[in-house]
A and B are shown apart, each in its own frame.
Chain A
Amino acid sequence: MKIVTKSFLRYLPRRLSLSLLQLVGVACGVAAVVGMTLSAQTALRSFSNTIEFLRGRSTHTIQRPVGPMEEGFLSKLGEDPAVKWLSPVIDRRLRLENGESVRLLGIDPFLDRTIRPEIYRIEFLGEGRENLENLLSFLTDERAILIDSHLKEEFKIGTASILKTKKGPLHIKGTFPNPSGESLVLMDIGHAQKLYQLQGYIDRVDLILNDESDFIFRWGKGFFIQSSLQRRETFSGMLQAFRLNLEALSLLALLVGVFLIYNTAMFAVVSRRRDTGILRSLGANRLEIVTAFLSEILILGFLGGACGGLLGFFLTRILTGLLGSSISSLYFFLRPEPVAWSSWIVVIGMGLGCGASLLGGALPLGELIRTDPVKALSGRIATPESARKAKRAGLGGMIVLFLSFILFILPGAHVYVGFAGVFGFILGVSLLMGVIFLMLHPFIKRFLGRVGGLSGKVAAGNIRQNLGRTGVAMAAFMVSLSMSIGLSVMIGSFRESLIWWMDTQIRGDLYIGKIDEAEVPEDFFEEIKRIDGIGGVHPYRNVLTLYRNTSINVSAVDSTILKKYARFGWLRGGNENWEGVKKGGVIISESFSRRFNVKEGDTITLEGIKGPEAFKVIAIFYDYTTEHGLVMMDRTTYIKTFGDRRLNNIGIFIDPDQPRRAELLEEVRRKAEARGLPVRTGSQLHQNILDVFDNTFAITRSMRAIAIIVAFFGIAGALLTLFIERSREFGIYRALGFSTGQVARVTLIEGLEMGLVSFILSMGVGTVLAMLLIKVINLRSFNWTIFYFPSLQPYLITGITAILASLGAAIYPIWRIFRTYPQIQIREE
C-alpha cells in the first residue's frame, strides 16, 4: 500500500472511538435499509408465493361477484367443453383459540389433487392401523383437518391431536408440506361447508381451462372469471399503496444513512485537510489524495456495511413479524417467514455501505480535492469561508425547495412524485440548515451566554466556527427529528380522524358478529327484530368484489336506520342523501371517488348475479375502512343485485329515552350468546378498530426509532470530532485557567445547543412534513383525507428525545475530557 494511503488509513485505529462511532453510524443506516427492504421484500414475496402455491396448476377461477356460489353449478361446469379440470374451494379464515387466524381451505381431495398436487404429500399421524384410520377419517370425521408444516411446528403435533379453534376443537389427522409463508389448514369440502354453515355453497371454483374466451362467453354473466395473472394482479393491487409506503420508509432510512455518511466523510475531510496540504507540498497529486481518502471512507463503508447487513438481518426478524401483522390486519392474512440467513446479506450490506459512502463522500471529497494546500498549511480555519459555504448551500436549498414545491403542485401527479417532493423538501431544508443556524446564532449565543455563562459563550462560538462539521450533524439530526414529528403528527391526526369517523358511522349500542365474516344467521336477525322496544336493528353486509378489475368493497346497509341513527361525514349534502339510497342509488367512499374519479351524479356499473347493473352515485362520504374504495347500497338493492342474503353483523340501536334500555340490551346479548355469536358494544368495537390501527403503524414507529438512533450517532460523532479536533484549543483553555468541569460544560452545552437548534428547526420542518404526509402522500396513495389535528405530544416527546440524545451524545466526549484534560499541554502536534 502506498504510504500516502497509509497516512490516511492510520487514522482509523488511531482515533478508534471516533472510527467506531462512524462505523456504528454507517451500520445503523445500512441496517435500517437492509432490514426494511428485506422485510418488505420477504413479506411481498411470501405473499406472491402463497398466491402461487394456492393457485397450483389452475389457470382461472370462477366465483360469484359477491359472496359464495351455489354448488349446483359444479356439474354444469364439469360438463363445459372448455373446462379441463375443476376443483371447488371453500376459502375461509379459521380463528384459533389463541386469537391467531389461519387460512382454511375446504377442498375435495379427489378433484383438488390435480390442481394442487404439492399439497397431497400428506403424512398421516400414527402408525399402522391408526395411520390408516386417520387417513380415512379425513373423509368421514366432520371435524377432521390436515395441518401444514408451519402449524405442525407451532403446535408440536403428536399422535392424536386437537387444534383448538373458536369454532371448537378440530381433529388433526395429518400434516402436509407448505412451501408458502401462510399457515394453511385443509378440510374436506363437505365438512368445511358444515363448519361455516355453507351447505350448498362454495366460495369459488379453481379451473384449468383450455379455451378462455369460449368459457367467458358462456359464463361471463353473473360470475367473475379471473385468470391467475389477473387474480395475482388484483391481490398485489390491494397491497400497492402499502408497498409504496414501505418503499418510501426504506428510502427515508437510506436518506438518513447517506446523511450520516456525509457527516462522517465531512469530519474526515476536516481532519485530513492539513495532511492533504503537507502531502501536496511534498508533491502528492490529486489522484493519490483521492485514493487515500476513498480508501478510508470505503473501509468504513465496507465494515460498517457488513455490520449493517448483519444488524439488518436481525432487524428483519422483528420487522417481518410487524409487517406480517400489519398486512394481516389490513388486507389478508399473511405470516411471512423471516429471511433466511445468507452471506449475500452481508455482501449487500457492504455494497450499500460503500455506495452510500461514495454518495455521502462525494461532496466532501470534492472539497478535499479543492483544498488549497497553502491555506491548509497555514492552519487558517476559514471562518468567513464556512459562512459563505453555508450561504451557498442555503441557496441550493432554496432551489431544491422551489423544485419540490413545483412537484407538489403538479396536477394529478402520481404518489411517487409526491414522495420525490417530500425528499426534496427534506433535502432543501437540510441544506438551509447552515444559513438558518447563522441567523439564529446571535440569539442562541445570547441565550447560552446567559444560561451557561462563559462556557455557553465559548460553546456557541465553537459551533459557529465549526459550522462545516456541526451544520451537517445538525441537519442530519434535524431530519430525523422532523421525521419523528412528521410521522407522529400524521399518525396522531389519522387516529383522531379515525375516531371522528367512527363516531359518524359506528353509533350502535351493540354489534353482533364479526365484520370480516358472515356468520350471523338471517333468522337471528329476524328474531332480534321481533324484540319490542328496540329503535333499530341494522343488518350489515360487506363483501369484496371487482370494479374495473380492481378489488373494492361493497356494503349493504339499511338506509332507513342509518338515516335515523348514523351521522355520516358527507363531502356534500347531509342526511337527505339516504333518500336516494333508498331508491336504489349508491353512496361511495371518498377513496372510491378519488381512485376511480367518480363524482356525485355519475353512474357506476357492478357485475351482479344477473349481469352488469348500473347504479347512480348519490353522494360521497368520508371513510377509512378501506383504501380500495367502498360502495354502499341499501340492503334491498344489494339482495336484488347479488342474491346474497348473508349478514356480517347486526347493529342494535336503542333510543336514548327508551326506559327499558339496559334490559333490552341484556336480552339481545343473551340471545346472541345463546347462538354463540360474538357481541361487542359500540365502544368495544371502536377500541378494536383503534387496536388494528395502532398495530398497523407499529412498523412506522419502529422506523422512527431507527431514525433517531442513527441521528444519535451522528450527533455523538460530531461532538467527538469537535473534541478531538480541538484538543489544541483545550490546551489554551487550560492555560487560561478553565477547569475540567468548565471544559466539560462547554462540550455539554455544545451538544445541547446542537440538539436544541435541530429540535427548534424540526418543529417547523416536522409540522410541514406532517402536512405533506397528510395532504399529499396519504391523499395520493390511500385516496383519503386525513384531517389535521394539532397535538402537543409529538413535539414534547421529540423535544425530550432530542435533548436526551444530545446529552447522551456528549457523554463520551465529556468522559474523554475528564480523562485527558489534566494532561493536555499547549503544544503543537
Chain B
Amino acid sequence: MKGLSKKENLKCFTWKRDLTIINGELNKFFLFRLFSFLILIELLFSGISIKTYAQEWRQAIEPWKWSFPKDHGAHLDFRTEWWYFTGNLRSSLGERFGYQLTFFRQGVFPMAKDPGFPWGIRDIYLAHFTLTDVSRNQFWFSERISRKGPGLAGASERNMNIWLLNWKARMEGKRINLRARDEGMALDLVLTPRKPIIFHGKEGLSQKGRKKGQASYYFSYPNLETEGTVKMPGTQIPLQVKGISWFDHEFGSNQLAQDQVGWDWFSLHLSDGQDLMIYLLRRKDGSVEPSSSGTLVTRSGEGIHLKLSDIRVEVLGFWKSPNSGGKYPSHWKIKIPSFRIEIEVASLVPSQELLTKGSTGVIYWEGAVAGKGLSSGKPITCEGYVELTGYAGGLGGAF
C-alpha cells in the first residue's frame, strides 16, 4: 500500500512498460514482481484483497511435510512459486554453453471466481528462457506470460509438469525433460539428478526476512546430469550437448521486506564434487540482510546450511551494461572458511543481461560463470550460474 500511495499521480501506463512503479519496491526474490502488471495486481490485493476475498494466501511459517512427486507440482495455496533451471553445457567439440529456463506462477486470487471457466484468472504464468554461447560470446533471451486458459499454461499439482505454450518442464520417473523453442533458439534436454534433493533453510523453510511468514519453502536438485540438444539462433542444426544443471523450486506468499533492493544468487558446481548455493539480499543502506544464507552440498549429497557469517564474498570486478547502464559485479572471490573453500569466479560472457524492454521491461543479469581456486587445499575448478537483480538503475531506467 505504501508503494501505491507514492504512485498516486500515475495515470497512463501500458501493459509492458511501467516499471517506474516498482522502483525501490523490488522484491529481491520474486523476479516476477518486476512485471508491472503483476506488481499492480499484487499491490492492489495486498491491500484490498484481504477485505474483498474471504480466503487468504497460505503463509510459509511451519516446516513443510515433504512428499514427492507431489511437491514437485504446484502449490496453489501459495501466491508465488517457481521452477528454476540453469546449467552449464559443452558440445562434443568442447564449446561451452549456458542455459536458463524458468517458470513462474503468480497467484492473483486465492480462490477462483468461476473455477470451471478456463479463462478465469486465478494465476498468471511467466517463463524466461536464455541461451549463452561462451565461445562466440553471445547471449539470447526470451520470455512469456499467460494465464492458464484452455491449456495455454499450467502446472500440475501432482507432479512436475509445467508448461507455457510450447515451453515445458516435465518429470517422468527420475528424469526431467526440458523443452523450449522461440525465434531461432531451441532447447531439448534430459536432466537426471546425481544427488538427492537438498532442502534449504530449516527443512526447506527458508527465511527471507525477520518477520514470521517472510519466508518461502525452498529446495533444489543441486547437481543434475544434463544431456540433449540446444539450437542457437542463426544456426540450422541443434547441437548435441552434455553438462550439469541446478534446479530450484520455491514457493511462498509474503516474503518481501521493504528495505531490500536486490539480490545476488550463486549456484556453483565444484570439480571436487561439492555444490555451493549462496544468496545475498542487499539492503538499501548497502548492508546485507542478516537472514541471507547458503547451502553447501557435499560429494555424497548432504546439504549443510551456511549462515551469513560463514560466507565471504568479495567483488573483484564490474561490468557496466551499455544497454541499461547498470553496473553489475562480474568477478568475485568467494570464501567459505569453515570448509576451506576459496575460489575466484567470473562471468563467462559479460552481457548476459535480460533487458526485456520489448515485453515485460524487466532488467536483470543471469548468466553462466566459471572459476577456479582451492578446496581443502587442493586446486579445483568450478562452473555455475549467478543471478544479479536490482543493479540496473531504477530498472525502469528507460523511463
Q: CB within 8 Å of B: which residues of A?
A: 71-72, 74-75, 78-81, 83-84, 86, 108-111, 113-114, 117, 120-124, 127-129, 131-133, 135-136, 139-140, 188-191, 193, 199-200
Contacts and interface: CB of A to CB of B under 8 A. Distances in A.
A75 B145 CA distance: 15
B15 A132 contact: no
A140 B113 CA distance: 9
B166 interface: yes
Nearest to A133: B44
7 contacts: A79-B165, A86-B165, A108-B152, A110-B146, A128-B7, A135-B40, A136-B44
B119 A190 contact: yes
Contacts of B11: 123-124, 127, 131
Listed from nearest, the 6 A-B pairs whose CB atoms lie closest are A190-B119, A75-B151, A128-B8, A78-B165, A71-B150, A120-B15
B398 interface: no
Given A128-B7, A128-B8, A78 B152 contact: yes
Contacts of A114: 359
A131 B10 CA distance: 8
A110 B150 contact: no
Contact of B9 (A84, A128, A135): A128
Nearest to A83: B166
A787 B151 CA distance: 55
A189 B41 CA distance: 19
B14 A120 contact: yes
A111 B150 contact: no
B121 interface: yes
B90 interface: no
A136 B40 CA distance: 8
Contacts of A136: 40-41, 44
B233 interface: no
A338 to B, nearest CB: 28
A74 to B, nearest CB: 5
A108 B150 CA distance: 12
Instruction: Give chain B's interface residue range (CB within 8 Å of chain A).
Output: 35 or more
Given A72-B151, A75-B150, A114-B359, A108 B43 contact: no
A124 B7 CA distance: 14
Most chain B beta-carbon contacts within 10 A, residue among A79, A132, A188, A200? A132
Contacts of A188: 119
Given A108-B149, A113-B359, 18 more contacts: A74-B150, A75-B150, A79-B165, A84-B183, A86-B165, A108-B119, A109-B15, A110-B124, A110-B147, A113-B16, A120-B15, A123-B11, A128-B7, A129-B44, A136-B40, A136-B44, A189-B119, A200-B150
B149 A79 contact: no
A75 B125 CA distance: 15
Nearest to A190: B119
Nearest to A75: B151
B150 A72 contact: yes
Contacts of A132: 4, 40, 43-44
A180 B98 CA distance: 44
A199 B183 contact: no
B120 A121 contact: no
A79 B7 CA distance: 40
Nearest to A199: B117
A127 B150 contact: no
B305 interface: no
Contacts of A139: 108, 121
Interface in B134-148: 145-147
Contacts of A135: 13, 37, 40
B118 interface: yes
B120 A190 contact: yes
A78 B166 contact: yes
B181 interface: yes
Contacts of B13: 122, 124, 135
B55 to A, nearest CB: 16
Interface string B84-125: 000000000000000000000000110001000111110010
A110 B145 contact: yes
A39 B359 CA distance: 39
Nearest to A121: B14
Given A71-B118, A128-B8, A189-B119, A81 B146 contact: no
Contacts of B181: 81
A193 B7 CA distance: 34
Contacts of A86: 165
B387 to A, nearest CB: 24
Given A108-B146, A190-B120, A123 B12 contact: yes
A127 to B, nearest CB: 6
A632 to B, nearest CB: 34
B4 A128 contact: yes
Given A128-B10, A135-B40, A136-B40, A122 B152 contact: no
B77 to A, nearest CB: 20
B183 to A, nearest CB: 7
A139 B119 CA distance: 9
B117 A190 contact: yes
A100 to B, nearest CB: 28
Contacts of A108: 119, 146-147, 149, 152
B153 to A, nearest CB: 9
Interface string B244-277: 0000000000000000000000000000000000
Contacts of B119: 108, 188-191, 193
Contacts of B10: 128, 131
B28 to A, nearest CB: 23
A108 B146 CA distance: 8
Contacts of B16: 113, 117, 120
Nearest to A192: B119
Nearest to B121: A139
Nearest to A126: B11
Given A108-B146, A127-B9, A140 B121 contact: yes
Interface in B20-35: none
Most chain A beta-carbon contacts within 10 A, residue among B4, B14, B108? B14
A74 B146 CA distance: 13
B140 to A, nearest CB: 15
Contacts of A120: 14-16
B298 to A, nearest CB: 40
Interface string B38-80: 0011011000000000000000000000000000000000000
A122 B15 contact: yes
Nearest to B36: A135
Nearest to B116: A199
Nearest to B109: A140
A122 B108 CA distance: 21
A122 B18 CA distance: 12
B255 to A, nearest CB: 22
A71 B150 CA distance: 7
A199 B150 CA distance: 11
B10 to A, nearest CB: 7
A74 B166 CA distance: 11
A188 B121 CA distance: 11
A133 B49 CA distance: 11
A113 B360 CA distance: 11
A572 to B, nearest CB: 49
A128 B6 CA distance: 9
A241 to B, nearest CB: 40
A139 B109 CA distance: 12
Given A113-B16, A114-B359, A74 B4 contact: no
B15 A74 contact: no
Contacts of B37: 135
B163 to A, nearest CB: 8
Contacts of A78: 151-152, 165-166
Contacts of A133: 44
A390 B12 CA distance: 73
Nearest to B8: A128
Contacts of A80: 166
Most chain A beta-carbon contacts within 10 A, residue among B4, B120, B149? B149
A822 to B, nearest CB: 76
B118 A113 contact: no
